[in-house]
Amino acid sequence: MTARSRTAGRQRPQRHFPLQVLLGFLVVYFLVPFWWVIVNSSKDAPGLFGGGNTMWFADRIDYVENLTRLFTYDGGIYGRWILNSTLYALAGGVGATILSVMAGYGFAKYRFAGRRFSFSVMLGALMVPATALVIPTFIMFSGLGLTNTIWAVILPSLLNPFGVYLMHVYARDAVPDEILDAARADGAGEIRTFFRVAFPLMRPAVVTVLLLSAVASWNNYFLPLAMLSDNRLFPVTVGLGVWQGVASANNAGSTSLWSLIILGALVSVIPLVIAFFTLQRHWRGGLSVGGLR
Amino acid sequence: MTLLIEESAASTQKKAHKVRGKVRLREHLMGWLFVGPFGIVFLALLIAPLAYALYLSLWQKKLIGGTNFVFLGNYVKAFTDPTFLSGVWFVVRFSLVAIPLQIVIALAMALIVDAVTSLFTRFSRLMIFLPYAIPTVIGAVMWGFLYSKSFGPLTDIFGLFGATAPDFFSKNLIFYGLINVVTWQWAGYYMIILYAALQGIDPSLYEAARMDGAGKWQIALRIKIPLIAPALLLILVFSLIGTLQFFNEPQILRYLAAGTIAPGFTPNMYAYQQAFALANFNYGSAISFALGGVVFVCVYAFLFFTRKRRSFL
């Protein structure tokens, strides 16, 4: 509605040519690293180090060969990393979302004892550096024998106080008390009211929290770096970091590894870029909820 | 249906005195039922680790004599440890440059994208947001390629003008190299948040301002920016918390910038090194906690100053 009245309020289309040129420069800046990676992942080692144009394709374009090498190198470990990242993102994302939706709804719609106190404690937790938790969590998990298992990565990503905050704000505004009371008066229990009445109204924010938590798990680096030592459990972020360390430490002998890292970086961003483009409607809805308050 | 609700409302009122206690108890129970699962995870994975880290940080492990209770000894050690202090100084300086830069760029882009509606601005919005979809680690790897002497484009580009390419892995320039990486990574995300806030402003305000003779720049400065101040504040606080914990990018570029980025380059890297490379969990925990204290003081000071400033405006 706001969007329509905005355009109606405008008399003539506004062009602002200089501003668009400025914006154009910024777009180029933001796209340069992507362009470099797209171009250079097509090269073989001589093409990469042979001193040709670094911002354009070499004569030989080797995507297929490089892809084959990427997915067969070291027994196909790269494919495993991608699958691990997907598993961690899905498990952490779905788990964190279920907990956030329930807690956000509970905080917004029930006046229970200790509500204010626990809500402010949770808000305070937004300030706790996530990395400050990694060291003690590591020791606790190692006592339980959980380090170097998938649970060491999945369990900590279930915690998403920001998701609870977002769901709280959304449930408070989008689920009117009157509707809940009407459902109760019609004889629906609390659980039924939640699933049949409240949940459908909260769905847009649920999708946003799911996306945000899944992306946070996918991007995670410090936690799996500390928790995992078996490289078959690595997510792709840790795996590529290790490859890069190996390649830099041994610059001369590892020219072939560099082309794998470049293509590996490109392949690893494709799923998320596609997700962003196809789901952008949901992003914006949720970000405006978080940004306005 | 209406009748039913009215009727039940009336009967609820009548019985209110009798059932109040029962209803309240039910509300307590249901509230905790919904919040409980998150509460358990919160206690197990946030409160317990924090308490444990605090406990660990009060002890010291020595080769001879075992583990001793030293109370604040580790903190005294941290705040006199030149590596920790230089790390803190680095992240504070870094925040002071990186955050304003990101916000200014994000704000400028958001204002342009908000004011100019064309196919190109819609396309730009998406492209500028794209780096947010990239894990910070991969972003750092990508900029590592671009900075690289052996296959980055800088040598070629500066060669065109007969100049030597800057080495962003050198001691002098690593600061700016990292500033560039985080700006690239986050400016688009902040732009989207600010853009969402700008879209939420009631356009009739612009109409009224135009009637009063305000130009485009005045509308941007006097109406748009003050109205999105809450969103700006939110971004500033979150980016401050994030930047003081700087870890991923320097940790990744450390291999390429050998000798420039030491293991104790930022406080978080130092804590990681102490805990996981040297198995000194006590001192590592103390550093994490000390960093948490620094974050808290900085955020608090920031909120204090902005609140004061606003009362002047």
Model confidence pLDDT, tens digit, residues B59-73: 887 777 677 788 888
Number of domains in chain A: 1
Which pLDDT tens digit goes with each residue over A230-271? 989 999 999 999 988 888 777 655 677 888 888 898 998 888
Which residues of chain A have a CB within 8 Å of the CB of B234?
A: 290-291, 293
CA A112 to chain B, closest CA, distance in angstroms equals: 4
Nearest to B271 among A30, A122, A135 (CB): A135
CATH number at residue B257: 1.10.3720.10
Which pLDDT tens digit goes with each residue over A155-171? 999 998 888 988 888 88
Q: Is the pLDDT of residue A290 over 60?
A: no
Q: Is the pLDDT of residue A293 over 70?
A: no
CATH number at residue A261: 1.10.3720.10
Residue B52, in any domain of the structure = no
Number of domains in chain B: 1
Q: What is the pLDDT of residue A286?
A: 59
Residue A257, in any domain of the structure = yes
Q: Please judge whether B127 and A99 are an interchain contact, meaning their C-beta atoms are less than 8 angstroms apart.
A: no
Contact B286, B78 (CB under 8 A): yes
Q: Which two tokens stand for residue B84?
A: 């920790």
Residue A256, in any domain of the structure = yes
Q: What is the pLDDT of residue A5?
A: 43
Q: Is the pLDDT of residue B164 over 90?
A: no
The answer to whether B73 faces chain A, any CB pair under 8 Å, is no
**Distance between CA atoms of residues A209 and A201, nearest Å:** 14
- Among the ranges given (A128-132, A170-174, A272-276, B213-217), the one the predictor scored with the smallest mean pLDDT: A128-132
Structural domain of B154: 74-312
Average pLDDT, chain B: 83
Q: In terms of CA atoms, which chain A residue is nearest residue B239? A: A127
Q: What is the pLDDT of residue B201?
A: 82
CA torsion, points A128, A131, A134, A137, in degrees to nearest 10? 10
**Distance between CA atoms of residues A198 and A167, nearest Å:** 12
Residue B11, in any domain of the structure = no
Q: Please judge whether B45 and A226 are an interchain contact, meaning their C-beta atoms are less than 8 angstroms apart.
A: no
Which letter, b or e, does each residue of A48-75 get, where b requires 16 or more Cβ atoms within 10 Å of its Cβ? beeebebeeebeeebeeebeebbbebee
Angle at B92 between CA B91 and CA B97, to 5 degrees: 95
Q: What is the pLDDT of residue B96?
A: 93
The answer to whether A291 faces chain B, any CB pair under 8 Å, is yes
Q: Please judge whether A291 and B196 are an interchain contact, meaning their C-beta atoms are less than 8 angstroms apart.
A: yes
Residue B41, in any domain of the structure = no
The answer to whether B134 faces chain A, any CB pair under 8 Å, is yes
Structural domain of A241: 75-292
CA B193 to chain A, closest CA, distance in angstroms equals: 6
Q: Please judge whether A129 and B244 are an interchain contact, meaning their C-beta atoms are less than 8 angstroms apart.
A: yes
CA B177 to chain A, closest CA, distance in angstroms equals: 14
Confidence at A291, pLDDT banded by 50, 70, 90: very low
